[in-house]
Structure 1
């Protein structure tokens, strides 16, 4: 299992708490978003190792994960966040926990970069709906500050509208020139939804290849926005035989040119 220094606590943390080395001279980075479905694949078998192998295929510097099940158990890999953190040799940042009868469940971030700060936004809506939240993390990417906001929004339209307002309000606390990535499972399958139009106005157009369901993807539930938009090099769905089996979602991978952050600030 991962050591305590690898998985960051559920409070704001300084960069010194993370073992990840700095990355001077970084030109391009990759970031992925993946709903791992509690590591349960289409064969109904729970396999954190299989999810870890998909992450290795993706080969990203940062991963936003949804539906991470951290249930204590007898198996070495029962606490999925700790297992993935150790297997990938990356620092793990848990989101607001969702307490179920079996343990903890929710969002998380894995990163190779030093962490400058961590904030957690409670996006829960209504008394009877599943609690939701967003991770809001500042990373040191080769001497450049990058803000990453990762989330998993609700299933109902009114719930998502409320959560989008909270999320975009959070984004607006940074100036437009501050490099920002917003990503996760947005659960918005209608491409002309007002929530997406509002997001595009603030963050720019998000490329959204379909990734759900994994065996025959035709819905774009997962999205990755990058601001400034000119820093976004590509967004692609990771559609391999292993990824098709590992979860009911396929992961998305974005490549970002961090040199364009500086260019945008000076334009």
Structure 2
């Protein structure tokens, strides 16, 4: 009997040890920090969306375990790109956290420190270069801002498998005395992605909303034009990009929209920015 009990105990310990080797795909890391005091808003709100390709430059392959990204120099390059437009709110996609081929493990924190901003991060799932086991790193979305972040939600929008999961990071940001709901997203190009997200956004349609990200589509018909304005279609001819910005109708008015110069090369995507006025 003693030997049977001892065997069971040892088996339980072994299983516990094995569980620690492999990630729990039911959990996704999400957090926010306010290391800087919230700033007062200007007359215009400058918003940016930028897919940073896991901290790798254009032409590099973040899925190749032999290639290294996320260096201090790359962080500096991304910070320089973003600083050119003096942003108030930045939504980032393909943000690495603890990936094995990233020189910087706390990528969001280091970039926010360079820009003197508050920050939030929300993971899609565990993520590593091809062949790396067990996968301990993650990738996801981030929101950086010079305003105070009140709260966040990391909402799962798409689930195909443990390897194909996408989340939407939502943050309530206090812009002066006005709360604004900001979303950073990166759709897997599935036919249901936009419709599922539109339902989620409209749960809070009475709030001021800013929706930024890599939609992996050039138009998002699922966001009704009576409720959401497409910043890239404000002017003629419209801007063509999968990286897009929307806001809730009646809350803001677009003053300008453009691509940040020299953002392609630092990443494989352009950084898109706009300046909005309150209505």
Match of 2:84 in 1: 57
**CA spacing shift, 1:238–1:43, aligned 2, 3 Å:** same
- Alpha-carbon distance between aligned partners in 2 of 1:208 and 1:74, rounded to the nearest angstrom: 34
- Alpha-carbon distance between aligned partners in 1 of 2:264 and 2:107, rounded to the nearest angstrom: 20
Matched, 1:98 2:125: yes
**CA spacing shift, 1:39–1:237, aligned 2, 3 Å:** farther
Conservation of the 8 A alpha-carbon contact between 1:231 and 1:256: yes
- Alpha-carbon distance between aligned partners in 2 of 1:66 and 1:58, rounded to the nearest angstrom: 18
**CA spacing shift, 1:130–1:94, aligned 2, 3 Å:** same
- Alpha-carbon distance between aligned partners in 1 of 2:37 and 2:161, rounded to the nearest angstrom: 42
Conservation of the 8 A alpha-carbon contact between 2:49 and 2:90: yes
- Alpha-carbon distance between aligned partners in 2 of 1:244 and 1:183, rounded to the nearest angstrom: 18
TM-score (norm 1): 0.75
Count of residue pairs brought into register by the alignment = 228
Conservation of the 8 A alpha-carbon contact between 2:122 and 2:169: yes
Match of 2:217 in 1: 188
**CA spacing shift, 1:87–1:73, aligned 2, 3 Å:** farther
1:83 deviation in Å? 1.4
**CA spacing shift, 1:25–1:204, aligned 2, 3 Å:** closer
Unpaired stretches in structure 1, ≥5 consecutive residues: 1-8, 210-217, 261-267
Which one is further off, 249-258 or 119-128? Answer: 119-128
Conservation of the 8 A alpha-carbon contact between 1:21 and 1:113: yes
Trace 1:116-265 onto structure 2 (pairs within 5 A): 116-127=150-161, 130-156=164-190, 158=191, 161=192, 163-176=193-206, 178-189=207-218, 191=219, 196-201=220-225, 203-208=227-232, 219-229=240-250, 231-241=252-262, 243-258=263-278, 260=279
Higher CA-based Rg: 2
1:227 deviation in Å? 1.3
Conservation of the 8 A alpha-carbon contact between 2:100 and 2:137: no
Unpaired stretches in structure 2, ≥5 consecutive residues: 1-28, 61-67, 128-134, 234-238
TM-score (norm 2): 0.72
1:202 deviation in Å? 5.1
Conservation of the 8 A alpha-carbon contact between 2:260 and 2:272: no
Match of 1:114 in 2: 148
- Alpha-carbon distance between aligned partners in 2 of 1:197 and 1:90, rounded to the nearest angstrom: 33
Conservation of the 8 A alpha-carbon contact between 2:256 and 2:276: no
- Which of the pair is proportionally richer in strand? 2
- Which of the pair is proportionally richer in helix? 1
